[in-house]
C-alpha cells in the first residue's frame, strides 16, 4: 500500500494500532483463567458456573461475529472497533459488580462476547485486508498485526497477575475497563471506507452481500474451514480457561500455572507472525493442516509424560507458537477464494465454527471436572478434533471464484 502524506495512513501506524487493539481485546480474554479461582473462592460458585459464563462468551462472540462483520463491511471497521471497545469496557464494569452466576454470565458472557466480535480478529483483519490491497503487503500487515496482538496478550498475563495479586478480582476488572476506554479512540486509525469504495469499484456494484454469502454457503471449502476452526476453538478455549487449574491440581503452584499462559502468549507473538508469513510462501490450507497435526502431537506428548514445571512450559511454548496462527491463515484462504469485499462478513461466518468449539471446550471443561474430578475426557476430545482438522484442510479447493459467479443472484 502506498503511504500517503496523511499521518493516519502510515502503514506502520496502522498495523501497530491494529495489534494494540487486538492484543488488548484478546489479552483480557486470554487471562480469564486467572480469574477462575478467585471468583469461585470469593463467590462460592462452582467451576461449572464460571465455565458456563465463558462458554456463553464464546458462543455469543461467534453468533454475533457475522452480523458485526456485515456492519463493518457496510459502514467501515473503525466505527465497529470503537463501539466494540466501549462495550468491552461496559462488560468488565458490570462483571466487577456481579453477585450471581446469572449476572456474571450476562456481563462476562453476553456483553463481552458481543464486544469481542467488534474488537478482535474479524474486524481487525477485515480492515487490514481492505486497507492493504497489494497481496504481499496484506500478508505482511496480517503477520505483523498478529504478532503485535500476541505481544499484547503476553504483556496482559503479568499485568493481570499483578492486578489480581494486589487487589480484589473486582478491582482488577475495573482497571481493565479503564484500559479499554483509553484505547477505544485509536480505532480511527483503522478507517477502511476509502479502500472499501475502491474495492467496490474494482469488482462492480452488482456483487451484493447476499450473493456473496449464498455463494460461500454453497462452497465446500467454506464448510471445511468452519469444521477445522471448530477444533481450533475447542482446543484454545479449553486450554486457556482450564489449564491453570489442571496444572494446580497436578501439583504446580499458582505462579507456575499462571506462567504457562504467559509462555503461550509470548510464543504466540512469534508463531502468529511465522504462520502468516508461511501462508504467503506455501498454500495456507496446507500450512493449516500441518499446524493442527503438530498440535495433536504436542497434546499427546504432554499427556504421556509426568506434569512438571518444565513439561508444562515446553507444552505451552509449542501450543503458543501454534496458538493464533490459524487466524491469519484462515482469513487468507477466505480472501483468496471469495475476495476482500465482504471479508469481515464471510470470515465472521467461518469464525462462528471456532466459537461453537470454544463454547463446548469451556463449558464441558467445567462440567466434566465437576462430575469426574478430571479433565482427561477433554484432552481426548482435543486430540480427536485436531486430527479431524488436519485431515479436512488438506483438500480444500482454494482457487478464486469468478466474479460473475459471485454476482449471480445479487440484488
Helix (H), strand (E), coil (C) string for 315-360: HHHHHHHCCCCHHHHHHHHHHHHHCCCCHHHHHHHHHHHHHHHHHH
- Determine, yes or no, domain membership for 69: yes
- Determine, yes or no, domain membership for 329: yes
108, 53 in Cβ contact below 8 A? yes
- Determine, yes or no, domain membership for 224: yes
Number of separate domains in the chain: 1
Predicted local distance difference test score (pLDDT) of residue 406: 44
Q: What is the DSSP string of 365-389?
A: HHHHHHHHS--HHHHHHHHHHHHHH
Predicted local distance difference test score (pLDDT) of residue 147: 85
| Full residue range of the structural domain in which residue 367 is found | 7-404
Give the whole-number percent of the chain exceeding pLDDT 90.
46
- Determine, yes or no, domain membership for 409: no
- Determine, yes or no, domain membership for 41: yes
Q: What is the DSSP string of 165-205?
A: HHS-HHHHHHHHHHHHHHHGGGGGGG--HHHHHHHHHHH-T
Predicted local distance difference test score (pLDDT) of residue 261: 83
Largest CA distance in the chain: 62
Predicted local distance difference test score (pLDDT) of residue 193: 53
Predicted local distance difference test score (pLDDT) of residue 403: 53
Predicted local distance difference test score (pLDDT) of residue 402: 64
Predicted local distance difference test score (pLDDT) of residue 187: 94
- Determine, yes or no, domain membership for 34: yes
Cα distance between residue 186 and residue 193, in whole Å: 16
Ranges in the chain, pLDDT < 70: 1-9, 193-207, 402-411
- Determine, yes or no, domain membership for 374: yes
Predicted local distance difference test score (pLDDT) of residue 361: 87
- Determine, yes or no, domain membership for 411: no
Predicted local distance difference test score (pLDDT) of residue 115: 96
Cell 468488565 belongs to which residue?
Answer: 92
Residue 120 sits in a domain whose CATH number is 1.20.1250.20
71-87 CB burial, b ≥16 within 10 A, e <16: bbbeebbbbbbbbbbbb
Predicted local distance difference test score (pLDDT) of residue 6: 52
Amino acid at each position: 500500500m502506498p503511504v500517503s502524506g496523511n499521518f493516519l495512513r502510515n502503514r506502520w501506524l496502522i498495523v501497530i494500532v491494529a495489534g494494540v487493539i487486538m492484543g488488548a481485546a484478546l489479552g483480557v480474554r486470554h487471562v480469564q483463567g486467572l480469574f477462575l479461582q478467585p471468583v469461585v473462592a470469593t463467590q462460592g460458585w462452582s467451576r461449572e458456573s464460571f465455565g458456563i459464563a465463558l462458554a456463553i462468551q464464546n458462543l455469543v462472540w461467534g453468533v454475533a461475529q457475522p452480523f458485526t462483520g456485515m456492519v463493518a463491511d457496510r459502514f467501515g471497521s473503525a466505527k465497529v472497533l470503537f463501539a466494540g471497545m466501549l462495550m468491552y469496557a461496559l462488560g468488565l464494569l458490570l462483571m466487577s459488580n456481579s453477585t450471581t452466576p446469572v449476572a456474571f454470565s450476562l456481563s462476562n458472557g453476553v456483553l463481552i462476547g458481543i464486544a469481542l466480535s467488534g474488537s478482535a480478529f474479524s474486524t481487525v483483519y477485515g480492515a487490514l485486508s481492505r486497507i492493504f490491497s497489494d497481496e504481499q503487503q496484506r500478508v505482511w500487515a496480517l503477520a505483523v498485526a498478529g504478532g503485535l496482538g500476541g505481544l499484547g496478550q503476553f504483556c496482559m498475563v503479568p499485568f493481570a497477575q499483578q492486578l489480581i495479586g494486589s487487589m480484589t478480582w473486582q478491582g482488577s476488572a475495573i482497571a481493565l475497563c479503564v484500559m479499554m476506554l483509553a484505547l477505544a479512540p485509536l480505532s480511527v486509525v483503522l478507517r477502511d471506507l476509502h479502500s472499501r469504495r475502491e474495492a467496490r469499484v474494482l469488482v462492480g456494484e452488482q456483487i451484493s452481500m447476499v450473493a456473496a454469502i449464498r455463494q460461500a454457503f454453497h462452497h465446500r471449502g467454506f464448510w471445511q474451514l468452519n469444521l477445522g476452526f471448530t477444533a481450533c476453538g475447542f482446543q484454545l478455549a479449553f486450554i486457556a480457561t482450564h489449564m491453570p487449574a489442571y496444572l494446580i491440581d497436578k501439583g504446580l503452584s499458582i505462579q507456575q500455572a499462571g506462567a504457562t499462559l504467559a509462555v503461550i502468549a509470548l510464543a504466540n507473538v512469534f508463531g502468529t507472525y511465522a504462520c502468516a508469513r508461511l501462508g504467503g510462501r506455501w498454500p495456507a490450507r496446507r500450512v493449516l493442516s500441518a499446524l493442527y497435526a503438530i498440535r495433536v502431537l504436542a497434546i499427546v506428548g504432554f499427556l504421556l509424560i509426568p506434569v512438571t514445571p518444565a513439561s508444562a512450559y515446553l507444552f505451552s511454548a509449542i501450543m503458543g507458537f501454534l496458538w493464533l496462527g490459524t487466524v491469519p491463515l484462515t482469513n487468507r484462504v477466505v480472501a483468496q477464494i471469495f475476495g476482500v469485499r465482504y471479508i469481515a462478513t464471510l470470515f465472521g461466518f467461518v469464525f462462528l465454527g471456532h466459537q461453537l468449539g470454544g463454547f463446548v471446550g469451556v463449558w464441558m471443561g467445567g462440567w466434566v471436572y465437576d462430575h469426574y474430578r478430571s479433565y482427561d475426557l477433554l484432552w481426548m476430545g482435543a486430540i480427536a478434533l485436531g486430527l479431524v482438522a488436519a485431515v479436512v484442510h488438506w483438500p480444500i479447493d482454494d482457487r478464486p471464484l469468478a466474479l460473475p459467479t459471485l454476482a449471480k443472484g445479487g440484488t
